[in-house]
Amino acid sequence: MSELQCKILHETHHMKGISTKMKLDTVYHSSAQGNYDIANSGETNGGTKRALEDTVQEDSFSAERRLRTRSPTYDQYEKPSLKRTRQVSSSRSPTQPRWHNQSYMLFLALRQHPDRCLPRTDLIKAALALDKKISEERNLPKVFRGKTPMNSASAILTNNSDRYFIPFKPNGSRSMHFRLAYEPGNFANAVEEYRKWEKKLIEEDWPHHFGVPKRTKEPTITHTSSNEQQKQMTEFDEFVASRQRARNNSNSYEDKENKNKDTRRSNRAEKKERAEKQRPDLNELDLSRVPTSWKDIVRVDQNLAVYATRRLPSGTPLGYYFGVPMTEDEFDSLKQSVGHASRYSVMYRKTILDATGENGEPFDDPEGEVYCPFHFMNTTEEADANVLLVEGPLVNQVICSTKRAIEEGEELLVWHPVAQLPS
C-alpha cells in the first residue's frame, strides 16, 4: 500500500464537514450498570485518554503487565467521559438496554429462525412480533413505534449499516432474502476466517509492500494497460481506493459553487491517486526478503509489548486483530466481568470482537490454536501512534496498519479506536 493510502487512512480521523460518515467505536465500562457501553463518536474526531492505573490491588507482575499492556479498547476500571458516551435520543428510556434497537431486533429475529435465513417481508414481520413480545415481557417501549414500522424495518435492512445481514436473491425468487453475516460466539469459525485472511495477506499483499525493485543495467520503459494495472492492485488497495472515491464524490451537502470547486479538486486527487497506485509486476521485484509470517516482522516481549524486527513501510497492513464476534448483550452476560475480556476486545460497528479465552485472558501461547501478537500492543495518543486499527473490507475484519514507517527495534504503539472509512 502506498504512502498515499496511509494518508487516506490517517485523513479519516481529521475529516471535517463529513464527520457524520465516520464512526470511531470503542468500549467503556459502566460502573453504574455493571456492564460496558459503546461509544459511537460519529460527530467528533477526538481520541479518548486511557486510565493509567486500576483501582484494584494486584501483585507486582500483574501490575507491570497492566501498565505495559494498555487496552486496545478501554481500561476496565476507567470512568467514562462525556465524549465517549453514546448519544441517545430524548425518547430513549434510561432503563432501556443498550442493545435494544431496531437493527439488533432484526438480527435477533433472524437468528432465532432455524434456517438463519428469511425473505424480507417475513423477517420484518418476525422482528415486529419479537419487538412486541420483548416490550411486553420486559416492560420496555417498542423499538419500532413509528406510524410505519414495516417501512422503518425495511430501511434498516436496505442500509445494513451494522453489517449484520447478507442480502441475496435465490434462483426463481422475486423477493430479497437475508441471512446472518456471521454466527455469534463461534470460536472455530472465527479462527478459520482469521487463518484465511492471514494467508491471503502474506501471499498477495506483502510481496507488494516488502518487495523491492530489482536492479537493472538499463531502465526499461513498459506500457501497462489499465486492465493490467488493476490486476496488480491488491484487494486492500482496491478497497481503500473505492472508499476514497466515494468520499471525494460525497459533496451534495455543499452549495453549487463549493461543490463544483470540490469536484474539480477531487477529480485531480483521483487522477493523482490512480497514477500513484500503479505498481510494478511482481517479476520486477526482489522478493527474497518478503516475510512469510508475523514472526518475520515483529517480536512480542513477554506479552507486554510488540517490537519491529525489521523496517515496516508506511501504510503496510501488518495483520488482523483477532476476536470472536459477539453481540453486545451476549458479551454483557458471558464475558464482560470475566478476567480482562473487556480490556482486550474491540468494537466492529455494533459487534464486539472478543479477543480472549474462557478465562477472559488473551491467547498467549504462540504455538496454540490461535495467537495474535497485536493483542499485546501498547496504546498511546493518536499523534504518537505508529499503528492504526482500520475497519477492513470484510465483515468483522479489523486491520492493523502502519501509520508511518516503523524502524527496526521500534515499539509498535496503537491508537485504539477502529476507524471506519467513509462509505
C-alpha cell at 299: 517480536
E strand segments, 255-375: 285-286, 298-301, 305-308, 317-320, 324-326, 346-348, 351-354
pLDDT at 220: 57
> Which amino acid would we find at residue 80?
P
> How many other CB atoms are found less than 10 A from the CB of residue 244?
23
- The predicted pLDDT at position 66 comes to 34
Question: What percent of the chain has pLDDT above 90?
Answer: 38
Residue 91: predicted pLDDT: 53
Residue 350: predicted pLDDT = 84
Nearest partner of 113 among 36, 180, 188, 14, judged by Cα: 180
pLDDT in tens, 133-187: 988 988 889 999 889 999 999 999 999 988 889 999 999 888 999 998 888 889 9
Instruction: Give 169-178 pLDDT, tens digit per residue.
Output: 999 888 999 9
> How far is residue 381 CA from its own chain's centroid?
18
| pLDDT tens column, 332-341 | 878 888 999 9
Q: What's residue 38's pLDDT?
A: 29
Residue 226: pLDDT above 60?
A: no
| pLDDT confidence bin for 269, thresholds 50/70/90 | low
* 180 membership: H or E segment, kind and range: strand 177-180
Coil, helix or strand at residue 174: coil
- Per-residue pLDDT, averaged over 236-264, amounts to 55
> Once rounded to an integer, what is the mean pLDDT over residues 23-39?
33
Q: What is the mean pLDDT of residues 313-336?
A: 90
- pLDDT confidence band for 44 (50 / 70 / 90): very low
Greatest Cα-to-Cα distance within the chain, rounded to the nearest angstrom: 79
Report pLDDT for 70.
Answer: 38
User: How many Å apart are CA 259 and CA 255, to the nearest integer?
Assistant: 6
Whether residue 20 has pLDDT greater than 50: no
Q: Is the pLDDT of residue 254 over 80?
A: no
For residue 168, the cross-strand partners are: 177
Strand residues in 217-355 grouped as ranges (E): 285-286, 298-301, 305-308, 317-320, 324-326, 346-348, 351-354
The C-alpha atoms of residue 26 and residue 86 are separated, in whole angstroms, by 10
